[in-house]
Amino acid sequence: MILVFFTAFGTVFVAEIVGDKLLYTTGVLAARYRTLPIILGMAIAFMAKMGVAVLIGEAISKLPRPLVATITTISFLGVAIALWRKSDRPRNSDKEHRASRAAMVSFAAIFFSEWGDVGQITAATLAAKYHLALIVWLGAVSAMVTKGALAAFLGAGIRRWISDRIAPKVVRYFAVGLLLVLGLLSVLEILIEKR
């Protein structure tokens, strides 16, 4: 069973680490929010998504690519709008609600995007092959949380470096711009799939 866990961890981690848009999303979120709430929101989203992947198996891979790309686009645009509307001035209640907001935003950004991606398909395939859904789920979630934590810690380091040099408003505009670019890339994915 431990071999299945590490097989799931390794294959999902490698499958997800290359060219994954959520790495950039997590980096953007970590530049705006504290790391721990982001990781908490990500972990819950990854648990749910990998649970669906393991339970449904290959059916996820059969979702229409335009549908997946459309949901991903809406997710990126929603996070961009939320960041755009956020004031740069701290409020009294900001410290109390900031952690829960960061967890909710990171959950939404991950849960509502990239369904049927290579990590989920890998987890579904491994669950079908080994018939050890719980072990595959644990390995896949561990891989996804590891990937997300790496991106969040990198983003937090960048946040500290940037906060000493660049105004918060500029950081927010950059984050919104990057999310809009990711949303545009998802729209292009839809258009390319239709050809």
Look up tokens 């000493």; give the residue.
164
Q: Closest Cα partner for 155 from 14, 38, 18?
A: 38
DSSP state letter for 115: T
Q: Residue 28, Cβ neighbours under 10 Å: how many?
A: 26
Reported as a single tens digit per residue, the pLDDT across 58-81 is 565 566 777 767 766 776 677 677
- Split at pLDDT 50, 70, 90, the class of 19 is low
pLDDT in tens, 140-180: 999 999 988 888 887 777 667 766 777 777 767 777 787 78
Q: How far is CA 58 from the centre of its chain?
A: 21
pLDDT band at 135 (very low <50, low <70, confident <90, very high): very high
